[in-house]
Chain A
Amino acid sequence: MSSGRTRSHGLYRTWVIATLRRRTGPVLATSLGIALAVALLASLGAFLSSSKATMTRRAIDSVAVDWQVEAQPGSDSAQLAADVGATAHVAAAEVVEFATTSGFDTTTGNTKQTTGMGQVVGISDTYRSTFPAEVRSLLGSDAGVLLFQQTAANLGASPGTVISIGRSGLQPVVLTVTGIVDLPEADSLFQAVGAPTGAQPQAPPDNVLIVPSPTWHKLFDALSVARPDLTRTQVHVRLDRRLPSDPAAAYSSITGQARNLEAQLGGAGLVGDNVAAALSGARGDALYAQILFLFLGTPGAALAALLTASVASSAADRRRREQALLRTRGATARQLVGLGVTDAITVGVIGAIAGISLARLVGRLAFHSATFGSTETSAMTWTIGAIVIGFAIAVITVALPARRDAHRTTVAESRRAIGRRQNPRWMAYGLDFLLLSASALVFWLTSRNGYTLVLAVEGVPTISVSYWAFAGPALLWAGGGLLIYRAVSLLLTRGQAVVAAGIKPVVGDLSDTVAASMGRQRRVLARGATLVALTVGFATSTAVFNSTYEHQARIDAILSNGADVTVTTSPGAIVSPSSATATAIAATAGVHHVEAIQHRFAYVGADLQDLYGVNAATIVAAGRLQNAYFAGGTAKDLIATLGARPDSLLVSAETVHDFQLHPGDPITLRLQDGRTKQYTNVPFHYVGVTKEFPTAPHDSFLIANAGYIAKMTGNDTVGAFLVDTRGADVAGVARRLRDVVGTSATVTDLVSTRRIVGSSLTAVDLSGLTKVELAFALALAAAATGLTLWMGLAERRRTFTIAAALGANRRQLGGFVWAEAGVTTLGGVVTGAVGAWALATMLVRVLTGVFDPAPEALTVPWAYLATVLSICVVASAIAGAATLRSARGLRLELLRTQ
């Protein structure tokens, strides 16, 4: 037994050495397929891990105040602050007081401006340095009595203005405004802590005043006693933010910490967890990233496995001959299987080493980091996972076929790559049609719920992915591949006359013979063409998806920023379209076009909404308005309708629903008059629905004609200038404009906005993923065409040598080779392109949730597709030329062997 094992070990060692020395080409070719799979998975995995960490970091970074711990009635707020401050992970804690005021008012000359109810917030001297993102100074002093910009606009107030503050049941008090501020995180600042999501206020208060804590106590301590329901105290917390890098794990961790604090406080305080709220969105995005990884990475790995199988099967005849020879020398079936496993391990090891090296190289080139920016541990986990899959591919494509052959009864039975063997059984059963039908059915079923892939059920802390939706594209991919096999196979058999006519210009009088030869090799050629088609399909659909994604991400950024560069005037500043500022902006180097839009607040009934005044003649082009921004017509049509009558108004769908509007209905808005500062009724009539508009909020807003608003309110002040740079030097133009406008306006640019926009997945820069994906797709395309063709042709070198020995000249030999290469490559590329279109369309539909806004059409990256086509053609040409060169060398030793 022991000596038998030793003999086998010697056999395997000899086999490995001989294989590496004598069959270097096939071994390397097979290993290449495994290397591509390993490299792709390791790269994408590390990128996914890095992306998730980025999402977590960005989500946390976007939070101004980590926790808002609200004191419960009867609790001691000083003790609460002390207890919270002493809690683990708390880096800083500040007490913040809130009081509800009955309103603010100011007097200008003979007119008095009054607001509705509002909030007066008391903060300490150190609050703004502890939470710098919570309050942003716009005008005047950073400290003292700070008025919220919207309130300032409503009151027509500026630094120095005296305002009166109403106190329920008490005498109003008077304060002098020292500065105007913005509250970027007003939603979270004024949240109802402890209230469920549905019970949260729909909008933050419009009227807010921030005062120093001593002032607040002076003004409202009495109110706290008289009307405790109108005041509340919170402890705002900054955490040490030591959280796991995965958003879901970070969410779970931070939620646990918050619950732990609540338990420690024993009912004295409730935690408003802003970090968890931010991470909640990020973990959904992380799942979308995971979906993208599966959608884009899995087909790539599957293709690499198919490529490996295809290359390995090219050498199957040789393996069977060797097995037959070994059998005659007394090798047992077990030893033959052992040799197959040895082959699998050999290519697995080479493929894994090459794959990991390639992944690290790609990481360095694309991300300047071998680990793609992820942690070493995370990268190592993905590396190990990729290696395991690489070995699995080696076992499936190399060891299992060897095992199957080793157990065959005769060698002759297994040598039937060419001939009359029946078509694969799946063709008779119509498996391809069944898969395609199933794909269409699944697509239809999943589309009924609006392609919601990430499911976040209300009240359930975990979120999940609807993997069912994956079935549609997966079945389309598999069914499409089989259909291509069937189509090529049918063409080569039933359509031989067509093939002969098609190749006649290349092979001349041999066309019928070559077509007949190809018909009998239909299995090999159909397999090759299918592989090329799937690879081209993968490359094309990935590229189309990525381009569409990039295009939409840009639109998303434009929606948020408004234009390449946007200059937003400060509240209260009077900047007319013909002002010196406007002229200076237009004259700035790099500025191609400037579009002025008005921004006002208008009351629709009791709702305060954003109103944008536009120039209908120029806004479609200047604002790069997409059809998806409007309902019931194209952007051009609806803006033309708007421009047709001065008092036309476009409103949001929500407003149409709330106010039961019908086209042509009159609608009266209350707008502030520029001369009297009083709100006045201005008549409009409703002409259409708008869903999105550059710089506008996502919910309710209005669009009207700028000229009409200016005429009716006596105020043509510009809210923002949309600056078109034609995409060139956006950051440079923004810098120059900042110098031009100084502190009188805020300048934002598309590039920066794109980095920070929202929490949607478009916030994750997928350009790295795009680079990796597309580079691998090109490598796969080259390998699928060149390598498969070369391996297939190389295994038939003897056939070409026989033809050469019979007297076939260069052109005639070329006829055989180029006809096969042409059918494989051309057939694959054409069918692959058709399949890619279908797949990309389905991918974009299924992944609708990834896009914001949804794309109107696919974006086709023609340059990349031309590169894919060129690579297929060049790889095919190199494989054919190498085969011809080898055949013309008339290797006589091939004529002595079978």
Chain B
Amino acid sequence: MTDQSIVRARDASRTFGRGASAVVAVHGVSCDIDAGARIALTGPSGSGKTTLLHLLAGLDVPTTGSIDWPAIGDRADLRPGAVAVVFQAPSLIPSLNVIENVALPLLLQSIDRRTARVAALDALTRLGLTDLVHSLPEELSGGQAQRVAAARVMAGRPRLILADEPTGQLDRVNGLLVIDALVHAADRSNAALVVNTHDPDVAAHFDQVWSMSSGRLLQREPARR
């Protein structure tokens, strides 16, 4: 717990709905995530992992409690640039080809087109995806699409990378390639990396494994390698 924390949650809860039909997806979570952290967030389906990830990414706001990003700034400063998210479902824009998808977050930061394309190509090269540069998302396999999503994260050099079950729809080989790509991306910018996963093999790649159940953050322990 330091002032250099990338993200800091204090007793954060997120409730959906009201009254009798209200569902508490995240319940009183407090945590600090520092630069360079490698965290696997595990738990059964419906335990609140995705909701917590959205809260940490600033895509959603807690109903009670607070979430801060001391090393970054306000919620408005998170995107584009500082925080990158990889979603479980394919999240490439169908009408843009691979390099345009990867360059898009940089263009959204008003980085000039030439610089953005160079950075995108560099990220794709590092992940061995140069032969897919002009492919369209519909022409990619699920593993390729997630690796391109990882390249998109890498090109932006974010401070915090959050991935929501990025290997959930992939076979083991492709899943590990995606995790390697994300770790590589995080290493490049010394970013904190939080990955939601069901897969123990995936979790084993991380320094810490945090587990959730019924919206509560239960255990935080080093990964068993």
Residues of A within 8 A of B113 (CB): 509, 512-513
Most B CB atoms within 10 A — which of A412, A416, A516, A895? Answer: A895
Question: Does B104 contact A520, Cβ atoms closer than 8 Å?
Answer: no
- What 1/0 mask marks residues of chain B from 96 to 117 whose CB sits below 8 Å from any chain A CB? 1100100111011110110000
A807: interface (CB < 8 Å): yes
Which chain A residues lie closer than 8 Å to B136 at the CB level?
418-420, 520
**How distant is the Cα of A412 from the Cα of B88 in the complex, in angstroms?**
19
A892 touches B59 (CB 8 A): yes
Query: How many Å lie between the Cα of A896 and that of B136 in the bound state?
Result: 21
How many residues belonging to B are interface residues under a CB distance threshold of 8 Å? Answer: 34
A806 touches which of B54, B80, B94, B100 (Cβ 8 Å): B80
In the complex, what residue of chain A is closest to B81 when comparing beta carbons? A807
Given contacts A512-B113, A892-B54, contact A812 B96 (CB under 8 A): no
Q: How distant is the Cα of A840 from the Cα of B94 in the complex, in angstroms?
A: 41
Contact B85 A805 (CB under 8 A): yes
Partner of A509, one of B54, B60, B87, B107: B107
In B63-104, which residues have CB < 8 Å from any A CB? 78-81, 85, 87-97, 100, 103-104
Kindly identify which residue among B80, B103, B112, B138 contacts A415, using a CB–CB cutoff of 8 Å: B138
Which residues in A have their C-beta under 8 angstroms from that of B110? 509
B201: interface (CB < 8 Å): no
Q: Does A521 lie within 8 Å of B105, measured CB to CB?
A: no
Confirm or deny: B167 has a beta carbon within 8 angstroms of a beta carbon on chain A: no
- Do B87 and A895 have beta carbons less than 8 Å apart? yes
Shortest distance between the CB of A816 and any CB in chain B (Å): 9
Q: Are B112 and A509 in contact (CB under 8 A)?
A: yes
The answer to whether the Cβ of A898 comes within 8 Å of any Cβ in the partner chain is yes
Contact A510 B107 (CB under 8 A): yes
Q: Flag whether A799 is at the interface (Cβ < 8 A).
A: yes
Q: Does B211 lie at the interface of the complex (its beta carbon under 8 Å from any beta carbon of A)?
A: no
A895 CA to B60 CA, complexed, in Å? 13
Count of chain A residues with a beta carbon within 8 Å of a chain B beta carbon:
30
- Whether A350 is near chain B, meaning CB under 8 Å from some CB there, is no
**Contact assessment for A803 and B100 in the assembled complex, using a CB-CB cutoff below 8 Å:** no
Residues of chain B contacted by A890 (CB below 8 angstroms): 59
In the bound complex, residues from chain A placing their C-beta under 8 Å from that of B13 are: none
Q: Is B139 an interface residue (CB 8 A)?
A: yes
- Please name the residue on chain A nearest to B54 by beta carbon: A892
Closest to A808 in B: B108
Q: How far is the CA of A517 from the CA of B103 in the complex (A)?
A: 13
Say yes or no: B85 contacts A812, CB within 8 Å. no
B93, A803: Cβ atoms under 8 Å?
A: yes
A896 touches which of B50, B92, B104 (Cβ 8 Å): B50
A896 to B91, CA, bound (A): 9
B-contact bits for A521-542, CB 8 A (1 contact / 0 none)? 1000000000000000000000
In the bound complex, CA of A890 to CA of B94 (Å): 18
Q: Tell me if A802 is interfacial: C-beta within 8 Å of chain B.
A: yes
Q: Are the C-beta atoms of A802 and B107 separated by less than 8 Å?
A: no
* Interface: A897 (CB within 8 A): yes
A897 touches B89 (CB 8 A): yes
Given contacts A419-B139, A509-B110, A806-B79, A898 and B94 within 8 Å (CB-CB): no
Name the A residues within 8 Å of B93 (CB-CB): 517, 799, 802-803
Contacts of A516 in B (CB 8 A): 95-97, 100
A806 to B85, CA, bound (A): 8
Question: Smallest CB–CB gap between A797 and chain B, Å?
Answer: 12
Q: In the bound complex, do residue A898 and residue B89 qualify as a contact, i.e. CB atoms below 8 Å apart?
A: yes
Cβ contact within 8 Å between A806 and B105: yes
* Structural contact, B80 and A896, CB atoms closer than 8 A: no
Most A Cβ at <10 Å: residue of B59, B81, B93: B93
Q: How far is B110's CA from A419's CA once the two chains are assembled, in angstroms?
A: 27
Residues of A within 8 A of B92 (CB): 802
**Min C-beta distance of A861 to chain B, whole Å:** 39
Residues of B within 8 A of A892 (CB): 54, 59-60
Interface code A390-420, partner B: CB below 8 Å = 1, 0 otherwise?
A: 0000000000000000000000100110111
A806 with B89, Cβ < 8 A, contacts A419-B138, A516-B100 known: no
Given A806-B108, A807-B108, A896 and B87 contact (CB-CB distance below 8 Å):
yes
Which residues of B are interface residues toward A (Cβ below 8 A)? 50, 54, 59-60, 78-81, 85, 87-97, 100, 103-105, 107-110, 112-113, 136, 138-139, 152
Give 5 A-B pairs besides A802-B87, A805-B87, A807-B108 with Cβ atoms closer than 8 angstroms. Answer: A419-B136, A509-B113, A520-B97, A808-B80, A895-B87
23 A-B pairs within 8 Å (CB atoms) are namely A415-B138, A418-B138, A419-B136, A419-B138, A420-B136, A509-B110, A509-B113, A510-B107, A513-B104, A516-B96, A516-B100, A517-B93, A517-B100, A518-B95, A520-B97, A521-B95, A802-B93, A803-B93, A806-B104, A806-B105, A892-B59, A892-B60, A896-B89
Smallest CB-CB A-B distances: 10 pairs: A807-B80, A807-B79, A517-B95, A520-B95, A418-B94, A895-B87, A806-B105, A898-B89, A807-B108, A419-B136
